[in-house]
Amino acid sequence: MKSKNSWVRHYLMLFSIAVVLIILDQWSKGWVRQNIPLGAEIYPIPALAPFFRFTYWQNTGAALGFFQNANTPLLILSSIIVVVIIWYYHKAFNEPLLFRISLGLLLGGAIGNIIDRIQLDFVTDFIAVGRFPVFNVADSAVTVGVIIMLIGLLIQEHREKTKRETTAISMDTEDEN
């Protein structure tokens, strides 16, 4: 059984990552809404123009433009995901650090977009790269969180496989003696 302080530190990491992301996400979206007219583009790094740009867009759907005008169902789904992440996190106490970090990224990204859906009835998107659909900091956090989670799971699977193989080799060596 883990001590109360261990649990507090454990959850502190989850919520610290989420809060930093939420603040960055909401600040950047607010800046975009105040400084870029809807549909307009600016080029924050002229050397990358027009490939990389900020474009203010109001997204009433999910990532990549799917499920447009589905704000309420997406709000409900995102809220369920937040509850599941917070509930599941206690089971991740002994999971690798990468896995726990990924849950913080997923939580922060989900809450960042939930705030928009509740306050505005749409999600503010503004990062445009090439022909890829416009996205935001919260979307990026979710994407990076999933990638980190997959990498962490692959590393864990590789370690377990190596451990099984090492155990099997040592058992074979003992049998030969």
> What does the pLDDT look like over 143-174, one tens digit per residue?
999 999 999 888 888 888 888 888 877 776 66
Q: How far apart are CA 144 and CA 17, in angstroms?
A: 13
Provide the pLDDT for residue 63.
Answer: 72
DSSP string, 119-169: HHSSEEEEEEETTSPPB-HHHHHHHHHHHHHHHHHHHHHHHHHHHHHHHHH
Of 16, 29, 13, nearest in space to 137 by CA: 29
Provide the pLDDT for residue 81.
Answer: 95
Residue ranges making up the domain that contains 157: 4-176
Provide the pLDDT for residue 76.
Answer: 93
| 10 or 79, which is more confident | 79
Q: Known catalytic residue: 121?
A: yes
Q: Of the listed 116, 121, 125, 172, which one is catalytic?
A: 121
* Average pLDDT of the residues in 2-19: 85
Provide the pLDDT for residue 65.
Answer: 67
Provide the pLDDT for residue 28.
Answer: 98
Q: Known catalytic residue: 25?
A: no
Provide the pLDDT for residue 90.
Answer: 85
Provide the pLDDT for residue 152.
Answer: 86
Report residue 175's pLDDT band, with 50, 70 and 90 as the boundaries. Answer: low
Q: Of the listed 116, 125, 139, 175, which one is catalytic?
A: 139
pLDDT at position 38 over 90: yes
* Average pLDDT of the residues in 103-128: 96
> What does the pLDDT look like over 46-105, one tens digit per residue?
999 999 999 999 999 887 667 787 788 999 999 999 999 999 998 888 888 889 999 999
Per DSSP, 39 falls in state: T
Provide the pLDDT for residue 126.
Answer: 96
| 60 or 177, which is more confident | 60
Q: How far apart are CA 80 and CA 58, in angstroms?
A: 23
Number of domains in the chain: 1
Provide the pLDDT for residue 104.
Answer: 97
Contact 126, 32 (CB under 8 A): yes
Provide the pLDDT for residue 75.
Answer: 93
